[in-house]
A and B are shown apart, each in its own frame.
Chain A
Amino acid sequence: MTDYKFVVGSSPHLRTSENTPRLMFYVLQALFLVAVASTILFGVRAMAIIGVSVLAALAAEALWQKGLRQPVTVADGSAAITGLLIAFNMPPLVPLWVPALGSAFAVIVVKQFFGGLGHNFMNPAAAGRAFLVSAWPLAMTSGWLTPFDGATSATPLQVLGGSSGSLPEGWQMLMGWRAGCIGETSALVILIGGLYLIYRQVIDWKIPASFIGTVALFAWVFGGTDGWFTGDVLTHVLSGGLLLGAFFMATDYVTSPVTKRGRLIMGLGCGLLTALIRLWGGYPEGVTYAILLMNVATPLIDRMTIPRPFGTRQTKVTG
């Protein structure tokens, strides 16, 4: 028989040209915008935090995989995303070893311990931040600055929670001219990045929409000081890490549900927990813990919302 050399394989014989590293690249593009905004607002300190955090995440993944003689997957972009998100959750005056440690923890303990990308059950960045807040609460909850002038200041959520200080104007909140973590303040840029990812079909609008919507509703109904329905919705939505978390952390594929209904539940749950923690909890900010709790609930949500196969939920046909 002639020795023809052609390819044999299972169907389908066509594949989309879309691939995971490219999806991650879109996310990195969106996060890059936020990084630029952070640097404009908080200057060299922000740049240093971002640089250290990303380098630590990449190095941690590479060293871990080299040590275990696994293929090094730094190029898939997911470690860089974790590093950026950890950095964005840092107060401007944080010591630089804190984000470095957080990134390493996120990549090694939260992601690689469980088998790497696709196998972790919590969002690495959110879990990394929670670890830092528990271990070094002072470093993570102080050191707030107002952008540009560098004056120390309370964050809007601390003010809403009773700390002394004044709330910034709405437009200041939108542009990011307020005290807060370096990457969470620039609401407008986060919004642009998030919408870009929705446009690119990288993330599903359902999670951020239901997350932010629920927080807004609760803030409006219960968040006021003069009784029900007097809450300051705009301040609640634009402050803290809500936008950053809703667009970039709660939408993490690996740790969020795969069904449409499941994603609505994910957003609702995140919003509900965030509102509970913010309005009645001990912490001024609840986004991280809300996301982590819903991450853990994700397998359950997936099971609850499993689609029933075609032909099993219709009326019975006689014949």
Chain B
Amino acid sequence: MDAGTLREGEGRSFVGGMHIPEYKSLTNDVPIRRMAIPDRVIVPLMQHSGAPCEPLVQVGATVQLGQKIGDSEEFISAPVHATLSGTVVAIERRTHPAGEAVECVVIEGKGEQGEFVPVAKNNPDQMSPEELKDAIKEAGLVGMGGAAFPTYVNINTRQPVDTLILNGAECEPFLTCDHRLMVERADELITGADILMRCIGAKKTFIGIESNKLDAIRILSSKTKAREDMEVVPLAVKYPQGYKSYLIKTITGRDVPRGARSAALGCIVRNVGTTFAVYEAVVHGKPFIERIITVSGPEVPNRGNYIVRLGTPADFILREAGVDPNQLAGNKVIFGGPMTGLAQSDLNVPVVKNTTGVLVLPSELVREQVPYTACVRCGVCVERCPNWLYPHQLSILSEYGMYEEMQQWDIWDCIECGVCAYVCPSQRPIVHFVKRAKTVIDNMS
């Protein structure tokens, strides 16, 4: 497809899903800025899927920006680093944005905080794949778009992988941090992709971008025009296009069997933010200490795309964005996107490695207060479900506590994308019903 004549909304897609109001124009032309650095950061020792880290420092210790402060012997884990120069004032359980309390290192900064000074300017072409992988491992990189799976584990596959897919779909409404990154850091992104291709031995990279980001598609297309092994794939603007299985199916046409790891299909999917972090980790030796997040909401004054230190508390971010946390009555504060993100009950929660945004949504959008009614079987959820399930049936069975039956209706295939609950005219909290049932079924066995 020619990027020059491409129009908004065009592109490849998958069966199911739907276009959801985007709200991206709130921030999609706001350039990436650095947010002020807080005096105190809360760095959870568990910011990834896998084993939690053990602290490498003690209370009272002085730490430098970028110093490793937590690591694990386990294979599936990722080290964490100090995101502030200062003193460790506490190592204790604090609320994680995912809801549970986890062990955190609390660092208080003293005096002026400088930016990270690159330790090196490495030429990745002169490094062996093993050296590249080590740099990625030491930097503590994890998937920044969602699941926070350690990148080192992901690329350390023995299976032959011929295809790298960069996920620039950014299908969640409101979020624009990946969009701005593709527009403003295109060269670094391409270098990051080259590094990943060498790590996994891939022959081809596809960059999947929804066509509501035409500027990103044009910039990356022109920069990869001369390359046989890199191709930008415009995607239709349809949620949840960025979900890994649908992305692989859409871009490569390969079937994605239930439960299959993508490496088994010869694909590795990486979020564009992660790919940029790979560039920084390898070329500059920069550990994962900060990331770009979208701070947005219809009534947020200084909304935009900010580079923030990991561990920055939510209330600091809200105040920097011009929001008074005391004036949030009736609003929802969300970490991540509005479809799958998590509503926060405690504004001391820190930004972690997979936090894509901090959103403040007013009640007119959330409609949390509208009571739900009985399912009228209109079938819209069945039509829209991207995983081809019977969401209405799952919600009814969950309502009646018929959890065993829910397994016959393939509850474990539900990815909790939220499309069914979004479209339900009876306002049924279908995802909530499914999540609750999954927990109950887990505890039954």
Residues of A within 8 A of B (CB): 1-2, 4-20, 22-23, 76, 115-119, 204, 253-254, 256-260, 263, 302, 306-312, 314-317, 319
B187 within 8 A of A: no
User: What are 19 A-B pairs at a CB distance below 8 A?
Assistant: A4-B347, A6-B329, A7-B343, A11-B421, A11-B431, A12-B419, A13-B338, A13-B359, A14-B173, A117-B374, A118-B374, A118-B375, A119-B374, A258-B382, A307-B389, A309-B413, A311-B413, A312-B413, A317-B254
Cβ–Cβ contact B376 & A13, under 8 A = no
Cβ–Cβ contact A18 & B418, under 8 A = no
Cβ–Cβ contact A310 & B258, under 8 A = yes
B370 within 8 A of A: yes
> Residue on B with the closest CB to A314?
B255
What 0/1 pattern do residues 411 to 437 of B give for CB contact below 8 A with A? 001001011011111110101100100
CA of A76 to CA of B21, assembled, Å: 27
CA of A259 to CA of B378, assembled, Å: 10
Cβ–Cβ contact A118 & B388, under 8 A = no
CA of A20 to CA of B256, assembled, Å: 36
Q: Total interface residues on B, using CB and 8 Å?
A: 78
Least distance between A71 CB and chain B CB atoms (Å) = 10
What 0/1 pattern do residues 365 to 377 of B give for CB contact below 8 A with A? 1111010011111
Least distance between A117 CB and chain B CB atoms (Å) = 6
CA of A252 to CA of B386, assembled, Å: 25
Taking a contact as CB atoms closer than 8 A, the residue among B345, B366, B423 that contacts A16 in the complex is B423
Least distance between B365 CB and chain A CB atoms (Å) = 6
CA of A254 to CA of B345, assembled, Å: 38
Total A-B contacts with CB atoms under 8 angstroms apart: 189
What 0/1 pattern do residues 7 to 26 of B give for CB contact below 8 A with A? 00000000010001100000
In the bound complex, residues from chain A placing their C-beta under 8 Å from that of B254 are 317
Taking a contact as CB atoms closer than 8 A, the residue among A309, A315, A319 that contacts B388 in the complex is A309
Given contacts A8-B344, A15-B366, list 13 more A-B pairs with CB under 8 A. A4-B328, A16-B422, A22-B425, A118-B376, A254-B376, A307-B382, A307-B388, A309-B258, A309-B413, A311-B257, A317-B260, A317-B264, A317-B265
Cβ–Cβ contact A13 & B260, under 8 A = no
> Residue on A with the closest CB to B342?
A11
CA of A19 to CA of B426, assembled, Å: 6
Cβ–Cβ contact B425 & A20, under 8 A = yes
Within 8 A of A (CB), among B287-325: 325
